[in-house]
Amino acid sequence: MLKSFFNILSDKVSPKEKQKDVVMEMTSTTNKENSNMGRKALTRTQKFLNALLRGEAISWTQAQNVYGFKSPRTVVDGLRRKGHMVYINKTGNGTSYRIGTPTKEIIAAGLAATGQIVYNS
């Protein structure tokens, strides 16, 4: 390769060396194309969050069976720490999770708990 570089500078490149360079360029581009194929796999937490963001209500057993969580509560707590408003609905059928928008009262309570000024309008 170094030899062909100096040959380029002197404008004296043999046909064999040109052919080597062409073959090397073709294989390097082919390897680059093959190495970038496919998508990065989504994590279970991201799949769970995507389902919630689509508006689905996911039950406790669904979170365990479909998404493979041993404790869905820890995943929900993690999503809350990241800023998502995940609600828990407890009914006679069991517990389910959904994403919603916080009410003014919840926002005011959170601001009051952190010591920030709450504006009432």
Q: Is the pLDDT of residue 120 over 90?
A: no
Sorted by sequence, the CB contacts under 8 Å of residue 10 that are 6+ apart come out as none
Q: What is the mean pLDDT of residues 1-7?
A: 51
Element (H, E) at 95: strand 94-99
Tell me the average pLDDT of the chain: 78
Q: Is the pLDDT of residue 53 over 60?
A: yes
pLDDT tens digit sequence for 91-107: 888 989 999 888 888 88
Q: Are 60 and 96 in contact (CB under 8 A)?
A: yes
